[in-house]
């Protein structure tokens, strides 16, 4: 039995993970879960999977423990940020699914890394923020880091099994082709983008996801965060990554080799595939995903991203190149701007403006100290809040 902790069990990735586990219940046990909002859903999860631990916010802990008892669950509640770190590092847990959204996932994910767990990484923001620090900790603590972001999982599947042991040049790898759907506003002009609403932005054409990543997909910041994520996961530079818009989301990314071969991973757009792949790796388990019908999916098309209408991709690339704390500042500003857009406080096109102002007004420092990084995250947060106040 492999014992699993799911950080962010009530979210979209959490939901897909629980579905795959339920289909393979003879091999996997849900040992611990966390939830932040929608705790009635977390209660249902506890009733169904009977985990040993559940982490909830401090102010909900007593009430939630009572509800568990009333429902006949023996699940023990752990509270707040500390509770999340307990889930991620408790010795009984073999594998941690990092599926909290945003910077809130950094400390619990790092706790799993420092406990040397097998980590299924969905929470790209954690890696974007802390880059070198995160990857160094993976090495030091011999954690096993497996990407479940669909693009990175696809690249992982198209690389040689021991890719991390030698340089890409030695392995004849020329570049990574990171695919993007283009989001709901692909082909829209800058002018048309001025008036888009949160409801339009979260209606992704191919994937059903949480609100924040849906807006990130619409601005192309998701691809920017993924570019940075790929640089750290695969130890490459942005010039070795080409972003290709592929609106059908059937190819999930590719690796291009020196001899002209391009290896791709294909499948229906369903996160249960990369989750099942990483849960069982190097084995394969059923994921409940329909087999790909190539005849029905018809044409697969490709185009260049429109970086003028969607400046977030370029901002992310520049932040990675600036290095140090820049990606953490980018991430913090983006989180604040996306939340403000979802609450109708700023326009869609003001999201990149807020991010670029935060970066322009900040000095970039080395990012080798976690405390300092967290304080910079908070500072950028506050700066983004005040920029938004001045805008309106
Ligand atoms: P979601 O909004 O559906 O779920 C987020 C989860 O995080 C929920 O369980 C929520 O309770 C928890 N959470 C939110 N704020 C928290 C806080 N402050 N403290 C503790 N927990 C908190 O998001 P999602 O779509 O499942 O995405 C989760 C992560 O996976 C994101 O980083 C996203 O970029 C990444 N990801 C998602 C998808 C997808 O298809 N949904 C694909 C690739 C990567
Ligand atoms: Mg992705």
* pLDDT tens profile 278-327: 999 999 999 999 999 999 988 999 999 999 999 999 999 999 999 999 99
* Residue 272 located in a structural domain: no
Q: How far apart are CA 96 and CA 4, in angstroms?
A: 6
> Does residue 35's CB lie within 6 angstroms of at least one atom of ligand 1?
yes
* Residue 275 located in a structural domain: no
Is the same domain home to 8 and 116? yes
To the nearest whole percent, how much of the chain has pLDDT over 70? 100
Q: How far apart are CA 160 and CA 81, in angstroms?
A: 38
* Residue 160 located in a structural domain: no
Q: How far apart are CA 379 and CA 385, in angstroms?
A: 10
123 CA closest ligand 1 atom index: 32
Q: What is the CATH number of the domain that holds 21?
A: 3.40.50.720
Of 147, 175, 191, the position where a domain reaches its end is: 147
Structural domain of 174? 167-267+290-297
* Residue 123 located in a structural domain: yes
Is the same domain home to 10 and 105? yes
36 CA closest ligand 1 atom index: 11
Is the same domain home to 262 and 331? no
Choose which residue among 7, 11, 149, 233 to substitute to test ligand 1 binding: the one with the highest number of ligand atoms within 8 A of its C-beta: 11
Beta strands 262-266; 251-257: pairing state:
antiparallel
Of 147, 180, 203, the position where a domain reaches its end is: 147
Total length of the chain: 392
Is the same domain home to 27 and 104? yes
Is the same domain home to 194 and 139? no
Question: Please, which residues have CB within 8 angstroms of residue 319's CB and are 6 or more apart in sequence?
Answer: 228, 326, 327, 329, 330, 359
* Residue 314 located in a structural domain: no
Q: What is the CA radius of gyration of the chain?
A: 20
The count of domains in the chain is 3
Ligand having the closest approach to the CA of 183: 2
* pLDDT tens profile 65-116: 999 999 999 999 999 999 999 999 999 999 999 999 999 999 999 999 999 9
* DSSP bridge partners of 178: 243
Listed residue (272, 262, 265, 261) closest to 250, CA to CA: 265
Is the same domain home to 65 and 139? yes
């Amino acid at each position: 039995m492999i014992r699993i902790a799911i950080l962010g069990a009530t979210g979209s990735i959490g939901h897909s993970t629980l579905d795959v586990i339920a289909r393979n219940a003879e091999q996997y046990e849900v040992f611990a879960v966390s939830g932040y909002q929608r705790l009635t859903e977390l209660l249902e999860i506890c009733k169904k999977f009977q985990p040993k631990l559940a982490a909830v916010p401090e102010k909900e802990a007593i009430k939630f423990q009572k509800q568990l008892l009333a429902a006949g669950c023996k699940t023990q509640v752990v509270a707040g940020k500390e509770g999340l770190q307990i889930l991620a590092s408790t010795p009984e847990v073999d594998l941690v699914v990092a599926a909290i959204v945003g910077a809130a996932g950094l400390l619990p994910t790092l706790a799993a890394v420092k406990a040397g767990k097998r980590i299924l990484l969905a929470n790209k923001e954690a890696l974007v923020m802390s880059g070198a620090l995160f990857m160094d900790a993976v090495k030091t603590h011999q954690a096993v880091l497996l990407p479940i972001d669909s693009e990175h999982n696809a690249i992982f599947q198209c690389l040689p099994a021991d890719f991390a042991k030698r340089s890409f040049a030695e392995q004849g790898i020329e570049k990574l082709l990171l695919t993007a759907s283009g989001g709901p506003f692909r082909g829209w002009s800058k002018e048309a983008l001025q008036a888009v609403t949160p409801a339009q932005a979260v209606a992704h054409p191919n994937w059903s996801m949480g609100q924040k990543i849906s807006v990130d997909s619409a601005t192309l910041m998701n691809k920017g965060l993924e570019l940075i994520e790929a640089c750290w996961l695969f130890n490459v530079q942005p010039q070795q990554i080409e972003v290709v818009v592929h609106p059908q989301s059937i190819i999930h990314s590719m690796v291009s080799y020196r001899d002209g071969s391009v290896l791709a991973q294909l499948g229906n757009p369903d996160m249960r595939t990369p989750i099942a792949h990483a849960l069982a790796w190097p084995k394969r388990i059923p994921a409940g995903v329909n087999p790909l019908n190539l005849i029905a999916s018809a044409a697969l098309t490709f185009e260049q991203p429109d970086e003028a209408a969607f400046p977030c991709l370029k901002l992310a690339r520049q932040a990675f190149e600036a290095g140090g704390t820049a990606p953490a500042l980018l991430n913090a500003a983006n989180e604040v701007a996306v939340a403000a857009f979802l609450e109708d406080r700023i326009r869609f096109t003001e999201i990149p403006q807020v991010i670029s102002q935060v970066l322009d007004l900040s000095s970039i420092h080395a990012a080798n100290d976690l405390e300092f990084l967290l304080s910079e995250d908070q500072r950028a947060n506050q700066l983004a809040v005040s920029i938004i106040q001045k805008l309106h």
